[in-house]
Amino acid sequence: MKILVIKLSSIGDIFHALPAVHSLKENLGANIDWVVHREYMDVIKCFPDVQRVIPFFRDSFFSNFALFLRELRREEYDYIIDLQGLLKSAMVAYLARGKEIIGPSFHREGAGIIYSRIAGQRNKHRHAVDECMDVAELLCDKSTVPLKVEFPVQFPESKITGGHPKVAMLPVSRWETKNWPAKCYVEVIRRLKTLKEIEFFLIGGPDDRAVCEGIIRDAGAGVNMAGKLSLIETGSLLKEMDLLIANDSGPMHMAVALDVPVLAIYGPTDPVRTGPYGSLNRIAKTSLDCQPCFSRTCRRDGIPCLSGVTPENVIEMALEMLKK
């Protein structure tokens, strides 16, 4: 059996889809190919269940269309599974060669007209991982192998050395409204380092380096890895951590896949849908009537859904998690 999975982005969404792909591999013994945005190819190559990765050139689509189409149509598939649910991903499914196209319950933008079948009933009050698992529920015989949520990923070994505990922090996300104030991270580091011999590693992209450097300077501890690591190297570093404290962001879901406990700080987004998956993890949040608003801007002073999460809240949770 041959299956084509289409999940183009983002890094968090890709990891949300991984358990469904693993279940298909485990239960059907299929050869699985995956279409993804080119910048995430190396991450998919770390998924042992995936045989071939097909890059989608979103920034140069037309100039690379012939190459993309040739790679896409190299095989004929028993199932083409769109786990993105957008018109763009549905059109990729339409262009591929296959017997049946299956789409997710959360499809939009008219993508549903492309699909032969839709997996599961629309229910936005559950985690994105469980939504993606609908396709495994549809295609797999659960009487032979029970479906389990697992995240098989193989990142290279990290060059990070030293003792434990090690705590990673990810203080910057793409949305300003998801960023817990930098001064709060400073306070967490200051307090935790007086209570435990902890090594702190701050991670993020090149644009986050100055913020991370300021936190380290004011806290008097930490190693600034922001902008120094590829996605693969970030995964390798996270493997060595005992805890990740993070805003709502993609690497948080990488840590979940690696069984690294995550303490996630949530403001405008919904942890029920996109929080760190599993019982190892904790959520720090307030309960305002405007949450979740899913907005990149806030009309209230000081983004109260984030400022209402105190360093004391996070420190108490972090200490409990490190003890475990």
pLDDT digits (tens, 9 = 90+) for 58-85: 888 888 999 999 999 999 999 999 999 9
197 and 308 in a single domain? The answer is yes
- What is the pLDDT, as a whole number, of residue 56? 96
Q: Is residue 159 in some structural domain? A: no
**What is the number of domains present in the chain?**
2
Q: Is residue 116 in some structural domain? A: yes
Helix H or strand E encompassing 276 = none
Instruction: Find the range with the poorest average confidence among 148-152, 158-162, 225-229, 284-288.
Output: 158-162
313 and 180 in a single domain? The answer is yes
Band of residue 121 on the pLDDT scale cut at 50, 70, 90? very high
123 and 185 in a single domain? The answer is no
Band of residue 143 on the pLDDT scale cut at 50, 70, 90? low
- What is the pLDDT, as a whole number, of residue 164? 85
173 and 89 in a single domain? The answer is no
**Per residue in 2-12, pLDDT tens?**
999 999 999 99
**Domain end residue (candidates: 139, 174, 197):** 139
Q: With contact defined as beta carbons under 8 Å apart, do 259 and 180 qualify?
A: no
CA dihedral for 302, 304, 306, 308, sign (positive or negative): positive
**What range does the domain containing 116 cover?**
2-139
Residue type, position 76, single letter: E
- Helical pair 182-195 and 311-323, crossing angle rounded to 10 deg: 40
Helix H or strand E encompassing 54 = strand 52-56
171 and 273 in a single domain? The answer is yes
Does the bond joining 10 to the residue before it have cis omega, within 30 degrees of 0? yes
132 and 10 in a single domain? The answer is yes
**Per residue in 248-301, pLDDT tens?**
999 999 999 999 999 999 999 999 999 999 999 999 999 888 888 888 888 887
Q: Is residue 151 in some structural domain? A: no
Q: What CATH number should be reported for the domain holding residue 84?
A: 3.40.50.2000
pLDDT > 90? residue 162: no
The pLDDT mean for the chain works out to: 94
Q: Is residue 200 in some structural domain? A: yes
Percent of the chain with pLDDT over 70: 99
Can you tell me the distance from the alpha carbon of 74 to that of 322, in angstroms, rounded to the nearest whole number? Answer: 49
**Per residue in 186-203, pLDDT tens?**
999 999 999 888 999 999
Q: With contact defined as beta carbons under 8 Å apart, do 268 and 177 qualify?
A: yes
Q: Mean pLDDT across the stretch 173-197?
A: 93
Q: Is residue 148 in some structural domain? A: no
182 and 314 in a single domain? The answer is yes
Band of residue 145 on the pLDDT scale cut at 50, 70, 90? low
Can you tell me the distance from the alpha carbon of 88 to that of 92, in angstroms, rounded to the nearest whole number? Answer: 7
DSSP assignment letter at 208: G
203 and 125 in a single domain? The answer is no
DSSP string, 233-265: HHHHHHHT-SEEEEES-HHHHHHHHTT--EEEE
Q: Is residue 158 in some structural domain? A: no
Q: Mean pLDDT across the stretch 138-152?
A: 84
Strand 31-37 and strand 97-98: the pairing is unpaired
- What is the pLDDT, as a whole number, of residue 144? 66
210 and 78 in a single domain? The answer is no
What b-and-e string marks burial along 38-48, b requiring 16 or more CB atoms within 10 Å of the CB?
bebeebbebbe
59 and 118 in a single domain? The answer is yes
80 and 42 in a single domain? The answer is yes
Q: How many residues does the chain have?
A: 324
Helix H or strand E encompassing 84 = none
